[in-house]
Amino acid sequence: MADGRDQSSGFNYRTFLPWTQIFRCFQIALDPRKLFVAALGIFVMSFLWWVLSNIFYYKPPKIDDPDYQTSTIQRDFEGKLNPATGKNYTNEELEVAVAAEARRRFDRDYAQWQELDRLAGPGGRLRTMPWYEYRGPNPFIFFTDVLSGTAEERGQAIYGFLTGSVPVLIEPLVKLLLPVAKIVSPDISTLTRIYLFLILLANVAVWAFSGGIITRIAAIQLANKGPITLMQAVRFVVKRYANYLGAPLIPLAIIAAVVLGLIFYGLLALVPLLGDIFLFGLGLPVILIGGAMMTVFLIGLVGYPMMYPTLSVEGDQSDTFDALSRSVNYVYQAPWHYIWNWLVAVLYGAVVTLFVLFFASLTVYVGKWAVGLTASAVWSDRKPDFLFIYAPESFGWKELLTKDSPYAVSSSWEPVKESNRLVMTYKPVNAAVYETAKAELWWYNLWGAGIVTFWLTLAFLLMLGFSYSFFWSAATMIYYLMRKKVDEAELDEVFEDEEPEIPPVPPLPKGASEPTTSASSPTSLPVIAPPATIPFNPPASASPPAPPAPSAPAVPPVSPPPAEPPAPSATVVPPVPPPAEPPSPPAEPPVAPEPPAAPVVVSPPSEPPPSATPPMTEGEVSQGREPPPTEGESPLR
């Protein structure tokens, strides 16, 4: 196996340079199961973001709104003195102060709205669905322009790639940390902070499940264990979902609790004298301790990617607090190793992600080009260009697939209404030709374009899911490396959830009953066949028949002691038990069998030899035993 451990005694570069283990994550991340789970996580996360953005977004404020009217502002100045003169405001001074205050409030509210608009507005970073989000030029077009374009085209292509595509190569890390970075910004409103907090909860809820499944499969594969199925990974995460969800929420809850405590502390500090001397003066260490606690956990959130691998690797030996403790401690105990490992993972991940994007884009383009060759030679009006009018716009797929056709589009930056923000939009190269060609399409053409768009969107999400799959696979490998550095644990130590499979029971023959043992039923004894010759036919009503004694009237059978042999004149045969109903299943362990039923004394075979009947002893006569019948005498008297 190419990625297995080298068992030879020679030089092993992975042992000497353990961080090279991260290079194994490319093959691990290409697992179709991880790509599917990552694509599902991207779709659910984006949908939740879109819903929250539509709920919290509002129209921009205007200077003529009631909140900025002179009458509203003047009420706030009633009873106040002019700080410049220490006297009451004159009419001129009041008019100037009210106008300045109205403008200040409008500028503050508009700046806060702009922050929300960049995130939740039309075309905002957290509102746009993944297949419409701008991620730079198409990799295929980028390489084409660089290799065959002019100097100006090369410069534009490289600039667009650096500003648009490079951030996408580390998109999972960017989108996970974006809400955290924005929520502590001082220029946003309380409503925007609530919106970002819910965005953060949506992130954690989605990737606690999807990231948990990816890291569990990666943990087994990187440790050379397994195999593991997708359903086994799903059951593993569902069983421990509370731990996956709680690990990143606990530091956030601690930070929120400290913030609320300091807010209340600041409310008390508004009291004159109490706040100046005691709370702010003598109580300043309390504020510093609270700030230190928040800083510790904020820096510890850098270890968030290791929380899910901790639970996936350690299994039942870990929980929410163990995952939090390990992720924070590993960052603080070996920070340079952690930074170096992630630096290698990000750079290597950017390279392989670019390769995957190029490969997928080229696959779609070459397939479309090859299919269209037949229509170009036979029936040009049936070229499949119209099937891509709804293709995903991100990564320039729509631009690539409609190039040199009546449906060709080009990208350009356009301003958003009611905002100074620019967003990337795709417009037809020739609007008149585009509208004419689209009007000639029949309903089945549009239905076909819709079905093609479905498959293209699925392929696009799988392609985009590779970056997330690689991110969580690399996080799992980094956890293994940090655990070995700090705890000196081997890289192949992983919790394996035993799930023994019960082999199927073969079916019983038709008409046969399952043999069971009942504690209340006696144990059956082996059946001994009676002698071949019986001197008489037993009655039909007797079951089993009891033949008479050979020379004496029938007497009750006597059970001989277990240690004594049977009488020499008779053969002791255990009775054949009648067929019984199948016993019920045992309720407890089987007990010792009861003694067998009394034996039946039967006559020996007819015409025994004279020497076969020995004379009776005196003991037998004293016990009331009768002598055997003589020759010719009837056995029944």
Last residue of a domain, one of 306, 333, 360: 333
Inform me whether the pLDDT recorded for 268 exceeds 60: yes
Position 622 in a domain: no
Residues 6+ apart with CB under 8 A from 36: 462, 465
Within this chain, do residues 354 and 307 fall inside the same structural domain, yes or no?
no
Counting beta carbons within 10 angstroms of the beta carbon of residue 584, is it exposed (0 to 12), middle (13 to 18) or buried (19 or more)?
exposed
637: pLDDT strictly greater than 60: no
Backbone torsions φ then ψ of 415, nearest 5 degrees: -75, 150
Residue 404 belongs to some domain of the structure: yes
* Residue 391 to residue 377: CA distance in whole angstroms: 25
Residues 301 and 388 in one domain: no
pLDDT at 69 over 60: yes
Residue 414: enclosing H or E segment and its boundaries? strand 409-415
Q: Please check the confidence at residue 461 and state whether its pLDDT lies above 80.
A: yes
Using the Cα atoms of residue 285, residue 290, residue 295 and residue 300 in order, give the sign of their dihedral: positive
The token pair at 311 is 């639970």
| Cα 193 to Cα 179: distance, rounded to the nearest angstrom | 9
- Structure confidence at residue 84 (pLDDT): 79
Cβ-count burial 204-221 (b if 16+ within 10 Å, e if not): bbbbbbbbbbbbbbbbbb
Predicted pLDDT at 351:
85
* Cα gap 131→459, rounded to integer Å: 11
Question: Within this chain, do residues 429 and 319 fall inside the same structural domain, yes or no?
Answer: no
Residues 354 and 492 in one domain: yes
CA atoms within 13 Å, Cβ hemisphere of 136: 23
Question: Do 359 and 329 sit in the same domain of this protein?
Answer: no
The answer to whether residue 311 scores a pLDDT higher than 80 is yes
Instruction: Please state, in angstroms and rounded to a whole number, the distance separating the CA atoms of residues 215 and 477.
Output: 9
Q: Is the same domain home to 357 and 451?
A: yes
Q: Does some domain include residue 236?
A: yes
Contact 494, 219 (CB under 8 A): yes
Query: Are residues 291 and 319 located together in one domain of the fold?
Result: yes
Task: Indicate the pairing of strand 571-573 with strand 422-428.
Answer: unpaired
In the numeric block, the tokens 């399409």 are attached to 441
Q: Which of 479, 496, 513 is the last residue of a domain?
A: 496
State which of 308, 333, 358 marks the end of a domain: 333
Residue 184's domain spans which residues?
170-333
Are residues 320 and 354 located together in one domain of the fold? no
**Residue 20 domain-assigned (yes or no):** no
Q: Average pLDDT of the chain?
A: 79
pLDDT at 529: 54
Question: Based on the domain organization, do 230 and 87 belong to the same domain?
Answer: no
pLDDT recorded at residue 97: 87
Is the sign of the CA dihedral 200, 203, 205, 211 positive or negative?
Answer: negative
DSSP 411: E
The pLDDT of 347-373, averaged and rounded, is 88
Domain count, the chain: 3
Q: Which two tokens stand for residue 96?
A: 């100037």
Does some domain include residue 126? no
In which band, very low, low, confident or very high, does the pLDDT at 1 lie, cut at 50, 70 and 90? very low
Instruction: Assess if residue 542 is contained within a domain.
Output: no
Residues 385 and 319 occupy one common structural domain: no
- Name the residue with tokens 């797929």: 397
Please check whether residue 249 lies inside any domain of the structure: yes
176 and 95 assigned to the same domain: no
Per-residue confidence band for 479, with pLDDT thresholds at 50, 70 and 90: very high
Question: Rounded to whole angstroms, how far apart are CA atoms 384 and 369?
Answer: 9
pLDDT for 616 equals 53
Residue 12 in any domain: the answer is: no
User: Please, which pLDDT band fits residue 172 given cuts at 50, 70 and 90?
Assistant: confident
Indicate whether this model's pTM tops 0.75: no
CA–CA separation, 510 and 298 (whole Å): 70
Rounded-to-integer distance, Cα 502 and Cα 156, Å: 63
> Does 294 share its domain with 432?
no
Rounded mean pLDDT, 289-304: 86
Q: Which of 33, 24, 26 is nearest to 1 (CA)?
A: 24
CB of 569 within 8 A of CB of 600?
Answer: no
The pLDDT, as a whole number, for residue 210 is: 95
% helix, strand, coil for the chain, step of 5:
60, 5, 40
CA atoms within 13 A on the CB side of 322: 13
